[in-house]
Structure 1
Amino acid sequence: MKKCEFSETQFSFCFTFEYITRFYPFVPLPIFPNTYWEGKKGGGYDVKIKGNIFFQFKIPTYHDSVYRPYWDVFGHDYYKMKLDTNGKQYELLKALVRPFNKVYYSVPEFHTITELYFNYSKSSIESNSGIFALNYLPAYGSGKHHLIFSPRHNWANVFSDPYRIDKVQNINPYEIFAENDNLEITIYSQALQLRSLLLEDVENSELLEESKDPQTLVKSVHSLLLAKYNVHWYPIIDF
């Protein structure tokens, strides 16, 4: 067994920075709760993206052939993460799992500092991480479990009552933010409101053709505000 050569804080920063950069400027800044709010109702996560996407970061242990007889899931080396479903944090994370929320564990599928530096420089932290949706993990209060996974496979096994879960391959905030009009204020709904205001100037009508694709609309509004009005639109951060 080998421990990761980097900390959870290092990994969480690299992952979050890369994720936000990939969708910038159409995703608001991430919210990192302090230790007080992290343990309160509505907490349990490490970072929140606008109120719909929650990430909790974990650091696994690396296991080579020495430990394979005990957890021989893949027939080769693997990573293992402990799940204490009786803990307060797990209870809070499970409570966040409800319609239009996306709650995930994110764990690295590498363990050396060299790999961290390399993936960070290549913007490949997210693609070399295991992302697991909380709604498919064991129920709160079901005891201690282990999640066994490998970068060579797009699924993992949960023990002690073995069952397989798939890794999450893509988390697109455009789709999540546009799913429900009843959410407080989404990036998409802000873009719709701005579009309505901008269309009061008839010269903008051709530049803001109606689109059902949230990403296209957000980009169009952002570009027009910047190019014609020299206005930098950055979505509101809600607390």
Structure 2
Amino acid sequence: MKPDFSESTYAFSLVNEMNRMYSFNLAPIFPSLYEEGKTGGYDTEVSIHGVPFFFQFKLSNFLSRFNAKNYKVFNSSYYQFHLHARKKSKQHDLLLHLENSGNPVFYVAPRFYKHNDLNVNFRNSNMVSESIWITAKEIGALPDDDPHSVCFNEDNTLVYLFSEPRQINSKFSSINNISDDLNGFNAYLDYFKMSSSYEKYHKDTWEGLFNQMVYIINKHSGNSSLSKENINNYVDDINSMKSKCAFLSRLFFGAEMLILNT
């Protein structure tokens, strides 16, 4: 069964909760003229205050019939979201490279598909806990150019990449489930900061992050050869370096950039 709400509705509801309860801020693509003109505002803010996270929001199909393709793997109903096939989009490669460059990157999908469940979870502030969180690195490099999907059971204790299948172990889900004080994201960040990629590649300025993202885009552009100059054409009208990073995230990586206030 397909979900009866849109991806944008799910993303809005989830981001709203993350902003209210988990100290996340959504970076605006086009900050107001008032904000740009303030001392210490977007234009003059060089250092990154907090840590940018990158989230690609997905919708989950619900498969409950025993003749569903992967039913025997779970011996129960399960959820599924699709990844872009590499032959059509390099999106997963970009997100994986971004995470390997010292940035937290997540695929996020609901563990529900009915509009009423979305309303209930939104009212009860359960959008985060009723979603599955999987990093690009946990999925890993796709084995070929064919379509692939991530499937998981209703309590997300079993998660697989298909069509292999290969089991995925979500570190964040285990941290979030044992967190009693809504500090799952901070706990994950502490874990992530111990990685060699964070220590080696993580950027502390918006300009540094922007240049890093441009490099990754160029690296995976193939014959289109998106140079820094060409990419700058997309962001000429944006004066804030923070907003330029948010724009690149949305346009090329298909992800929303949210900043965790640490």
TM-score using structure 1 length: 0.62
Which one-letter code corresponds to 1:8 in the other structure?
E
User: Residues of 2 paired with 1:172 and 1:70: CA distance?
Assistant: 31
User: Residues of 2 paired with 1:133 and 1:115: CA distance?
Assistant: 25
User: Residues of 1 paired with 2:148 and 2:58: CA distance?
Assistant: 14
- Aligned position for 2:9: 10
Q: Confirm or deny that 1:23 pairs with 2:22.
A: yes
1:120 to 118, 122, 137: 122
> Given the superposition, is the C-alpha separation of residues 77 and 136 from structure 1 closer, same or farther in structure 2, using an over 3 Å criterion?
same
Instruction: Judge conservation of contact 2:111–2:154 (CA < 8 Å) in 1.
Output: yes
User: Residues of 2 paired with 1:66 and 1:100: CA distance?
Assistant: 41
By how many angstroms is 1:56 displaced?
0.2
Instruction: Judge conservation of contact 1:145–1:160 (CA < 8 Å) in 2.
Output: yes
> Given the superposition, is the C-alpha separation of residues 149 and 164 from structure 1 closer, same or farther in structure 2, using an over 3 Å criterion?
same
- Aligned position for 1:159: 162
By how many angstroms is 1:31 displaced?
2.3
Instruction: Judge conservation of contact 1:85–1:138 (CA < 8 Å) in 2.
Output: no
User: Residues of 1 paired with 2:74 and 2:29: CA distance?
Assistant: 37
Q: Confirm or deny that 1:172 pairs with 2:171.
A: no
> Given the superposition, is the C-alpha separation of residues 32 and 18 from structure 1 closer, same or farther in structure 2, using an over 3 Å criterion?
same
By how many angstroms is 1:80 displaced?
1.1
Q: Name the structure where helix makes up a greater proportion of residues.
A: 2
1:109-148 aligned at under 5 Å gives the runs 109-140=111-142, 142-143=144-145, 144-148=147-151
Instruction: Judge conservation of contact 1:130–1:151 (CA < 8 Å) in 2.
Output: no
RCO higher in 1 or 2 (8 Å CA, sep ≥ 6)?
Answer: 2
* Superimposed CA distance per residue, residues 5-35 of structure 1 (whole angstroms, 9 cap, x where no aligned partner): 10000111111111121133xx4x212659x
By how many angstroms is 1:85 displaced?
4.1
How many residues are matched? 172
> Given the superposition, is the C-alpha separation of residues 126 and 175 from structure 1 closer, same or farther in structure 2, using an over 3 Å criterion?
closer
* Superimposed CA distance per residue, residues 193-233 of structure 1 (whole angstroms, 9 cap, x where no aligned partner): xxxxxxxxxxxxxxxxxxxxxxxxxxxxxxxxxxxxxxxxx
What is the RMSD of the two structures over their aligned residues, measured on CA atoms?
Answer: 3.1
Identity %: 23
- Aligned position for 1:206: none
Unaligned regions of 5+ residues in structure 1, if any? 35-48, 187-236
User: Residues of 1 paired with 2:84 and 2:169: CA distance?
Assistant: 20
User: Residues of 2 paired with 1:70 and 1:153: CA distance?
Assistant: 15
Instruction: Judge conservation of contact 1:100–1:176 (CA < 8 Å) in 2.
Output: no
- Aligned position for 2:98: 96
Which one-letter code corresponds to 1:135 in the other structure?
K
By how many angstroms is 1:89 displaced?
2.0
Which one-letter code corresponds to 2:18 in the other structure?
Y
Unaligned regions of 5+ residues in structure 2, if any? 31-48, 177-183, 207-240, 244-262
Larger radius of gyration: 1
